[in-house]
Structure 1
Amino acid sequence: MDTLTPKEQPDRSKIKMNLKQEVRYWTKHLNISKEDLQKAVDKVGNSAAAVRKELAVDCGRGVCSRTLERGPTLLLLTNHI
């Protein structure tokens, strides 16, 4: 008999750098490299909100200018500033 239990949804409030699929999701979602994601997580922890905030702060300092050229995702993070 097949069980029809729903798949567990990933916890998007945390960034789990030890899971390949999580890293792939977050790098695509935030439009950043794996290395940049790792630096942000190392600095502020694995809270997705803290990482987003850190990336927005870095963009305000001009640190992510090369990232902004790749897509609009981070531009949306800084428009409210």
Structure 2
Amino acid sequence: MKTKLTLTIKKEVVEKAKRRAAGQGISLSQMIENFIEKEDPSVQYSESQLAAKKLLERLEEMESTKASKESDKVALTKYLKEKYG
């Protein structure tokens, strides 16, 4: 159960944090929760590093696919024949 809290933070800092969270596609609250729960507070990551970390996490969650037995050239030829006849 989530409990609402009131914090006193400079308006400029809140606005900057909101922009950063929006850039990550999450809410400010979620960004703060992620930071506290998952991140090591002694380490600061750049936006690129955070994006790469998120991508790696998503890739690890995905199921792997099996490689095709046919070569790329053969697959492309089949695709083009199907598309253009």
Pick the TM interval, shorter chain: 0.3 to 0.5
Tell which structure's C-alpha radius of gyration is larger.
Answer: 2
Give the TM-score normalised by the residue count of structure 2.
0.38
Give the TM-score normalised by the residue count of structure 1.
0.39
